[in-house]
Structure 1
Amino acid sequence: MPEYNGMVQPVRANEKDLAKIHINPVPDDKKPEVALKHLDDIRKKFRSFVMAMESCVKCGQCAENCHTYLGTKDPNNIPTNRAELIRKIYKRYFTLEGRWFGKLVGAEDINLDIIEQWYSYFYQCSQCRRCAYVCPFGIDTCEVTFIGRQILHWLGIVPKLHAGVGAAMENVGNHTNLPKPAVIDTLEFLAEDAADEFGVEFSFPVDKPDSDILYIPSSADYLLNPYTLIGAGLFFTYIGANWTIPSAVTEAGNFGLLFDQYFTQRHNVTRLLNAAHELGVKKIVWGECGHGWRAAKMYVPTLADRPVNIPITHIHDEIAELIKTNQLKLNPSKNSDPVTLHDPCNYVRACGLCDNMRVIMNAVVTDFREMTPNRQKNFCCGGGSAILFDDPEMYQRRILLSAKKAEQVRATGAKILCAPCSICKAQLYPMVEEHELGVEVKGLVDLVGRALVWK
């Protein structure tokens, strides 16, 4: 497990890994200079970044609201202190007091040690934005860590996990490197399983021309969360939808949002729009992925290389609307165990997807138990922004980051933990085991598929 001066760090991509995402690493002796140039460009472009650099009064409100700090007790994981790792460089080079008085006003020269601190702590921030929600000035530390990760990417400092996912997405259109034949085989297998378990025969259409709906699932649903994909298939079959899954984009997530918004994220948007155009669809429906939905809803129109004339909606919104208009017949007794709902951060704080999840929950389960706090005030699962590192020390750090969420789940007494996001699921599976919670993790669409009443 790599460390730098005692700081735990994710395993980083090597030169071969970086080449696959079109990055030539900057030599160490040039890194401070190049980082400073990028920082200068960014502060001239984004006023929100300047506000974050100049407005914080260190009130400490963010500390008690950050699951990362509460789990690790590392002072550098207090959101304002994490932002300070960039702020002290900003002060030194871009403010008068920093240039004149240096360390007296908390300003420092940039160097390799500082850059290594960025790598350590910006990849412990799950970018959940809870600190922004409680900040009296509205400072969004998530945006600061986004910028820090972007600069690290330009320098050639990227976790091996993120680089590998970015390369896989460019290669085959999903994070798991599943080629089209494997996608089709998996979908056929899942359809057979669904027929055996639910008594409903259907198929997952792939690349079906002139479909009305383009459904974008998470690639994790092919391997780790099959009932989420089966639930979606059951839902679309139940409503008689003319739908398809595009083989070019079998992935709801967009890791570009998490480490490279300038090429990787934009490339994934272009790939999506090309698929929609080629198949002639009328609507794009997003699957269960928190950051993927944020990237789609908030960024597709601004990163697109053409006008976006196709509506993009989330499957939860589609299901909720049919429930509200009494177009779905559901039997909640098919989900009779007590269920609690984890609010994915990118749904609730970034996209306002709160009420419709509860419309669905109240229609498909008999015993829904809210966590405290919930909705926009929820705590992150601890794996947000793909802090899903498996190397031993970072894995233990992940478990520490999940401590607050485990406390919330345990307090509900639920038997099922509904996690309607693929990254949340990937984090919560080990959290449940390590914290000995004794609950089963399921997606929201899983519960819908099980509750449908067929004529």
Structure 2
Amino acid sequence: MPTYKGMVQPIKAPDDVLRRLHLEPTPDDQKVEKALKYLDEMRKKFRSFTLAMETCVKCGLCAENCHTYLGTRDPNNIPTNRAELMRKIYRRYFTLEGRWFGKLVGAEDLNLDVIEQWYSYFYQCSECRRCAYTCPFGIDTCEVTMAARQILYWLGIVPKMHGEIGLAIEKVGNHTGLPKPGIVDTLEFLSEEIMDEFGVEVNFPVDKEGADILYVPSSADFLLNAYTLMGAGMFFTYIGANWTISSHMTEAGNFGLLFDQRFVLRHLFMRLVDAAQKLNVKKIVWGECGHGWRAWKMYLPTMTDIPIRWPIVHIHDEIAHYIRTNQLKLDPTKNDHPVTLHDPCNFVRCCSPGGPNGLIENLRTVIKASCADFREMTPNRDKNFCCGGGSGILFDDPEMYQRRIQLSSKKAEQVRATGVGKDGNGILCAPCSICKAQLYPMVEEHELGVEVKGLVDLLGRALVWK
């Protein structure tokens, strides 16, 4: 596992991966100059970034509210200190006091060591935005992380995992590189599994023109979260929906939001628009992915060349509507194990409306109707702690894997406090694909005695068929 002067870092994407992403790696002797150019661009374009650079008084309130710092106790993982890694450079080159007095006012020259610090620590921040909720000035240090990762990408410094996902997105339109034959075969297999386990005939239409609903699942549902995809198919079948899945766009996530908001982010947006137009659908229903939902809700309208004429709704909101209008018959005793709910950060702090019919409460509408013994975590809803894997911190190389488990310590503490795993048969509901990927190993490493399931999994199991 490569490190830089003792810092833990993800394995970097090799130059050939970067070039296939249409990115020419920056030579070391040019990185400082280009990084300053990109930093100047960020400060001029994004007011939120400038606010984070100029407003923080370093009160430290964010420290005990950050799962990354609580898990690692590394001072550079305190949100204000992490932002300071960039703020001291900003101060040196873009403020009068920094140019005049330098280190006396906390300014510092940019060099390759600092850039490597950026790579280490901005890929330990999960962009959960909990620090923004606790900051008395409302400073969102997630904006700093997003800016830093974008600058690093432009310099040709990106994790190998993220770079390879970027290539898969461009090639086949999903993170896992699954081609159309694999998509079709998997869906046929899931149809057979549903019949065998639930005795229900469910077909998964692929590329069906004129469908009312285009369903966009996470590609991980084809490989790791089969019951989530099965539950979605059962739901659409139960309500008699005219629906389809597009083989051109089988990705509810969008890793472009997590490292490159110019090319990679926009590429999946255009794939979605192309698929919706080609199939002539009326509505788009989004699958279980937190950061992907945030990307589509907040960025899609301004990053495509075509007006978005399709309503885009989340499957959890769709299901909650059918529950509230008494169009689903559910038997919660079919999920009789104790269950607790992990609130994905991107649902509850980034893009979801509040109120009784907002996504935060709709998660609970679905889980209470589907499960017999639901227990809330503390804290919950928008105060909940991140799982530790947000923003794609899902690295499997040994040192970064251990760091992932450290970042999940606060979440493990929350789960254990609910008591759902006391008898070894509890359920941790994670209604987000990245959360599931993080929590699968977390529950084993922390010996929590729970099984990780998606919310749509539980809904599918609870359906009472006529």
Give the TM-score category using the shorter length.
over 0.9
Matched, 1:362 2:368: yes
1:270 aligned residue: 270
Tell me the amino acid that sits aligned with residue 8 of structure 1: V
| 2:350 partner SS | coil
For residues 107 and 314 of structure 1, the distance between their equivalents in structure 2, rounded to whole angstroms, comes to: 45
Partner residue, 2:416: 410
**CA distance, structure 1, for counterparts of residue 434 and residue 19 of structure 2:** 26
Equivalence map 1:3-152=2 (5 Å)? 3-152=3-152
Give the Cα–Cα distance (whole angstroms) in 1 for the partners of residues 173 and 308 of structure 2. Answer: 20
Specify the SS of the correspondent of 1:99. Answer: helix
The separation in 1 between residues aligned to 2:241 and 2:232, in whole angstroms, is 11
Number of aligned positions between the proteins = 455
Give the one of 428, 443, 446 matched to 1:432: 443
How many angstroms apart in 2 are the aligned matches of 1:442 and 1:41? 42
* Cα displacement (A) at 1:419: 0.3
Alignment of 1:398 onto 2:404: yes
How far apart, in 1, do the equivalents of 2:328 and 2:202 lie? 18
Which residue in 2 is equivalent to 1:162?
Answer: 162
In the TM superposition, what is the alpha-carbon distance from 1:21 to its structure 2 partner?
Answer: 1.3
- When the two chains are superposed, the root-mean-square deviation of aligned CA atoms in Å is 0.5
For the pair 1:449 / 2:455, whether they are aligned, the reply is no
User: C-alpha offsets along residues 18-57 of structure 1, whole Å, 9 cap, x if unaligned?
Assistant: 1121111000000000000011111111111111000000
Give 3-state SS (helix, strand or coil) of 2:108's partner.
coil
State the secondary structure of the residue aligned to 2:278: helix
**Could you state the TM-score of these two structures normalised by the residue count of structure 2?**
0.97
Gaps of 5+ in 1: none
By how many angstroms is 1:120 displaced?
A: 0.1
Q: For 2:300 and 2:187, how far apart are their aligned partners in 1?
A: 27
Partner of 1:220: 220
TM-score by length of 1: 0.99
Which AA in structure 2 matches 1:446? D
The one-letter code sitting in structure 1 at the alignment partner of 2:410 is K
Deviation at 1:333, TM superposition (A): 0.5
Could you give the per-residue CA deviations for residues 299-343 of structure 1, whole angstroms, max 9, x where no partner exists?
A: 111111111111001000000011111111101010011100000
- Residue by residue over 1:216-263, the C-alpha shift from the partner in whole angstroms, topping out at 9 and shown as x without a partner, is 000110010000000000000000000000001111000000000011
CA–CA distance in 2 between the matches of 1:225 and 1:413? 24
SS at match of 2:34: helix
* Superposition misfits of 4+ residues, deviation over 3 angstroms: none
1:240 lines up with 2:263 in the alignment: no
Using the TM superposition, give the Cα deviation of residue 179 of structure 1 relative to its aligned residue in structure 2, in angstroms: 0.6
2:400 counterpart of 1:389: no
Q: CA deviation at 1:202?
A: 1.5
Q: Which letter maps to 2:360?
A: C
* Aligned partner of residue 281 in structure 2, secondary structure: coil
Percent identical among aligned pairs is: 76
